[in-house]
Amino acid sequence: MKRKNINYGFSIVELIIVAGILSLLSAVAVPISLNIFQKQQVARVSQDIENALKKAQNNAVYLKNDTDWGVKLASNTYVLFEGSSFSARDSARDESYDLSVGADFQTNYTGDEIVFDKFSGVPYEIISGEKTAKVGAGTITISAGSISRIINIVKGQMIYQTVN
């Protein structure tokens, strides 16, 4: 009787080929997933900051508590505040928000506060605790890695985002 030689299992060559294919797929998938995560992170943070700016502007226009409203941008947080400047604010009414880890922002403003004038809603910069000239146009750029979004604040009281 002839005996059949039946091999069950995988050879070492087959295992090495499969390991190589899996390594190649993960090398491609990891950067793509990180890029998607950064896009989502930047989109969320920029939307949150835009919403805080619009809320401050709406509160000022509709005379909430009959005062100016503003947003202060700090290194890891931003604060929606009531008052003519961050130093003259009513801190009990602050709404503070943390930036996501890895997200950063930059502005083309001189100061780090944007205050909206009560009733008119016109944006002003605050430098050394004092209102300066009206903001003609300004931007806040939110970025994480190579992904960025720009929040535009236009003299005509419009606040909107562009994807960079």
Cα dihedral 14, 15, 17, 19 in deg (nearest 10)? 160
Look at residue 22 in the predicted model and tell me its pLDDT: 92
* 3, part of any domain: no
Look at residue 135 in the predicted model and tell me its pLDDT: 62
* 1, part of any domain: no
* 106, part of any domain: yes
d(CA 109, CA 8): 70
* Residue pair 124/131 in contact by the 8 Å Cβ criterion: yes
Q: Which residue range forms the structural domain that includes residue 72?
A: 12-163
Look at residue 110 in the predicted model and tell me its pLDDT: 76
The three-point CA angle 38-39-45 to 5° equals: 85
Look at residue 159 in the predicted model and tell me its pLDDT: 79
Query: What rounded mean pLDDT belongs to the chain?
Result: 84
**pLDDT class of 52 with cuts at 50, 70, 90:** very high
Number of domains in the chain: 1
* 4, part of any domain: no
* 124, part of any domain: yes
3 state DSSP class of 36: helix
pLDDT in tens, 67-116: 999 999 887 889 999 998 888 888 888 999 988 767 777 888 777 888 88
* pTM for this prediction: 0.78
3 state DSSP class of 5: coil
* 6, part of any domain: no
* 107, part of any domain: yes
d(CA 126, CA 131): 5
Residue 88 maps to which CATH number?
3.55.40.10
* 72, part of any domain: yes
CA 38 to chain centre: 10
Q: Which two tokens stand for residue 9?
A: 């299992």
Q: Which two tokens stand for residue 94?
A: 């602050």
Min mean pLDDT across 65-69, 101-105, 132-136, 146-150 is at 132-136
- Following DSSP, what letter does each residue of 120-148 receive, concatenated? T--EEEEETTEEEEEPSEEEEEEEETTEE
